[in-house]
Chains A and B, each alone.
Chain A
Amino acid sequence: GESVGLHLPTLSVQEGDNSIINCAYSNSASDYFIWYKQESGKGPQFIIDIRSNMDKRQGQRVTVLLNKTVKHLSLQIAATQPGDSAVYFCADRLLNAGGTSYGKLTFGQGTILTVHP
């Protein structure tokens, strides 16, 4: 995804609620998708990934859903905690014309998640 400005989408939730963070990607040839969490002043931390031949994958308290028809990715966080407050990025990887992939990722601009106690 391309950056579209200085104001990131924001999501505010109460502690214990479920959170859903959405992401749209632009290229239907993308084959692999990752969600990262970034806390202030730190590097992105891997959360969960999914391949394009899947539509759902679950981790600990997190679920990623992939809808290739509308090129949409979502991250669901169950029982959100204050420690989940961060910026969340999706990233997708594009296959090159030869069908191989060189690991180059395209990142979305991020969503700020704030969890209120």
Chain B
Amino acid sequence: DGGITQSPKYLFRKEGQNVTLSCEQNLNHDAMYWYRQDPGQGLRLIYYSQIVNDFQKGDIAEGYSVSREKKESFPLTVTSAQKNPTAFYLCASSKGVRGQAISNQPQHFGDGTRLSIL
């Protein structure tokens, strides 16, 4: 089945450690996104990528890094500079978004990774 796979489902980080969250999609989507969700709040955009080898900072990029070497993959690294990393992290993808003749396509989400601090 086509979809977005996030792994692991649960992840624990020690102080001063970097951790990487995986996101893979087989929907042939050009654009991919990372969001952070805190209890009782909506989703906040961390980074997004419209095409391979290109990505842009979202609203809360500090302490995070990404790469987009392949169309199918958009891993997120939570660095030690992120002082409050405990959250639910969601990856999403959508069809191509460049150009004025844009089609309105919703973002489709994975089932998230819950990151906690040890």
Contacts and interface: CB of A to CB of B under 8 A. Distances in A.
Interface of A: 1, 3, 5-8, 32, 34, 36, 41-46, 49, 51, 89, 91, 99-105, 107-110
Contacts of A7: 40
Nearest to A109: B42
Interface of B: 4, 6, 31, 33, 35, 38-45, 48, 50, 58, 90, 92, 94, 97-100, 102, 104-112, 114
Contacts of B106: 34, 46, 49
Contacts of A99: 100
28 contacts: A3-B41, A3-B44, A8-B40, A41-B114, A42-B111, A42-B112, A43-B6, A43-B112, A45-B109, A46-B107, A46-B108, A49-B104, A89-B42, A91-B43, A99-B100, A100-B99, A101-B97, A102-B97, A103-B31, A103-B107, A104-B48, A105-B107, A107-B35, A107-B44, A109-B41, A109-B42, A110-B41, A110-B42
Chief secondary structure at chain A's binding surface: loop
Contact of B43 (A5, A42, A89): A89
A101 B112 CA distance: 26
A51 B105 CA distance: 10
A6 B112 contact: no
B111 A43 contact: yes
Determine which residue in B45, B104, B105 has the highest number of CB atoms from chain A within 10 A of its CB, and name it: B104
A107 B43 contact: yes
Nearest to B35: A107
A107 B48 contact: no
A102 B31 CA distance: 9
B90 A43 contact: yes
Nearest to B96: A103
Best-buried of B6, B35, B58, B106 by chain A (most CB within 10 Å): B106
What 7 pairs across the A-B complex have the smallest Cβ distances?
A43-B109, A103-B97, A6-B40, A107-B42, A3-B41, A107-B43, A109-B42
